[in-house]
């Protein structure tokens, strides 16, 4: 079969982009459609008799280089190592604004995380102690700080308003945010150091050279 394909492919290469090509089917509906089992080298093998496609879309098959099986094993990326996962969170009844250490129970070895769609909502007020949220009757100003950090092998979340608290100790917050999980199998961190640049009061600038490794 290998010799046959090596002769066939040059002949169809000229028409490959002008019509569909089928192997094992006389009426292909895709650019290249294969009916039957497919073997690539010695480590990738797809058998349609045991593999059921995802009815809601398409699956990506890949060889897992970290598998204990010799030469790796075929896995479904969609169910095992999806490149990007989004998980919404709603954390309520927090003491004042101090969410110091929320353990997401997400492995730092497998994922990087990012926090987005942040929302801070003061809890319901009472007559005796209205909840005015972050409150200051002076010139003191501040800002919310949102941070994801690693500890004990899992990702943690810290959210708060470092310079001020709520007006009353009974003040509470609900924090809504999304956590984006990025599988470390699909990207790399170029450097742990932070790239900094000072605009010196200007409104545009040049960040310098691109990071090495891209």
CA angle 51/27/76 to nearest 5° reads 20
Rounded distance between C-alpha atoms, residue 91 and residue 99, angstroms: 9
Host H or E run for residue 3: helix 2-13
How high is the pLDDT of residue 1? 47
- Half-sphere exposure (CA, 13 Å, Cβ side) for 125? 9
Burial 4-28 (b: 16+ CB within 10 A, else e): eeeeeeeeeeeeeeeeebeeeeeeb
DSSP 64-87: ETT-SSTT-EEEEHHHH--SEEEE
How high is the pLDDT of residue 91? 94
pLDDT, tens digit, 9 for 90 and up, residues 141-180 = 788 999 999 999 999 999 999 888 887 777 788 999 999 9
How high is the pLDDT of residue 57? 46
Low-confidence residues in the chain, pLDDT < 50: 1-16, 42-45, 48-49, 54-58
Pairing state of beta strands 21-23 and 32-34? parallel
Q: CB of 176 within 8 A of CB of 118?
A: yes
pLDDT, tens digit, 9 for 90 and up, residues 13-31 = 444 455 888 888 888 888 8
How high is the pLDDT of residue 21? 86
């Amino acid at each position: 079969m290998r010799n046959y394909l090596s002769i066939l492919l040059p002949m169809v290469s000229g028409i490959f982009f002008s019509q569909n090509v089928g192997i094992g089917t006389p009426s292909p509906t895709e650019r290249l459609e294969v009916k039957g089992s497919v073997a690539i080298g010695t480590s990738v093998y797809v058998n349609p008799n045991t593999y059921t496609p995802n009815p809601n879309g398409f699956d990506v098959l890949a060889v897992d280089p970290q598998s204990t099986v010799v030469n790796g094993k075929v896995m479904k990326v969609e169910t095992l190592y999806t490149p990007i996962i989004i998980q919404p969170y709603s954390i309520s009844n927090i003491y004042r604004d101090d969410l110091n250490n929320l353990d997401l129970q997400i492995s730092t070895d497998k994922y990087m995380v990012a926090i987005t769609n942040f929302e801070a909502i003061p809890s319901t007020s009472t007559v005796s102690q209205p909840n005015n949220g972050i409150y200051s009757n002076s010139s003191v100003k501040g800002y919310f700080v949102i941070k994801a950090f690693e500890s004990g092998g899992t990702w943690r979340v810290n959210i708060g308003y470092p310079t001020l608290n709520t007006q009353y100790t009974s003040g509470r917050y609900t924090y809504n945010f999304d956590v984006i999980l990025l599988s470390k199998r699909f990207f790399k961190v170029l450097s742990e150091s932070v790239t900094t640049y000072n605009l010196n009061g200007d409104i545009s600038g040049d960040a310098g050279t691109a990071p090495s490794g891209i």
